[in-house]
Amino acid sequence: MAAQYSGVDLENQLRNIAVTQLAAAFGSSGIPFLDMAANQVLLSQKIGELLGAEFAKLGLALENFTVESITLPASIQAALDKKISMGVIGDLGRYTQYQTAESIPLAAQNEGGLAGIGAGLGVGAGIGQAMAGAMAGMMQPNAQQAQQNAQPVAEDPQAKLVKLKSLLDGGLISQEDFDKAKAEVLKQLIG
């Protein structure tokens, strides 16, 4: 008696093939994850070719394959957003100011409101300043050597804006984050 397979069996088999080929295509593409969204058409073509060959072995034809979106898990996306925000903001002092500004709307929603947060902000600012001072102290012995070895290179504002636009297009930052960062870059450029 010949083996019988259900639609579910076929679906599972095709899904396994697709996942394997997707992983292979993403891994061998040489495209950094942040740039994958900008290269969806290229990835779709490459994956379509790989899947077409695998499906042909089963007597199936793949007419079209499209990568609709490329997203990160929420926890990784949140960590990436935080890292990007820190990079856009720059130094620790400015980051502390940013975090304080971000916490004010949250504090206003809490029972104590802005009045209840006053002490917390004072303590937080004190800790932030202490951390900045400690880090500066730790870096002091290496500062002269670092200055001798290499001069810091400021990133070109246009390159920064292109990076930000790529992150926005890739869905890695929100329109609001993009607008804020763009305004900051333009502010630094104009003075």
Span 137-148, pLDDT tens digits: 544 554 455 455
What pLDDT is stored for residue 78 in this prediction? 82
Distance (Å, whole) CA 27 – CA 55: 20
Q: Which amino acid, one-letter code, is at 78?
A: A
Question: For position 52, what pLDDT does the model report?
Answer: 92
Cα–Cα dist 23/43, whole Å: 11
CA distance 76 to 79: 5
Tell me what pLDDT residue 116 has. 46
Q: What confidence score (pLDDT) does residue 81 get?
A: 80
Listed residue (5, 50, 8, 6) closest to 26, CA to CA: 50
Which residues in the chain show pLDDT less than 50?
113-125, 127, 138-139, 142-143, 146, 150-152
* Distance from C-alpha of 182 to C-alpha of 186, rounded to nearest angstrom: 6
Q: Alpha helix locations (H) across the chain?
A: 7-28, 33-36, 40-57, 74-89, 92-109, 113-149, 157-169, 175-190
Contact, 173 vs 141, CB < 8 A?
no
Cα separations in angstroms, 39 against 32, 34, 119, 139, 191: 10, 10, 49, 40, 35
Contact 31, 164 (CB under 8 A): no
The single-letter code of the amino acid at 179 is D
Judged by DSSP in three states, 68 sits in coil
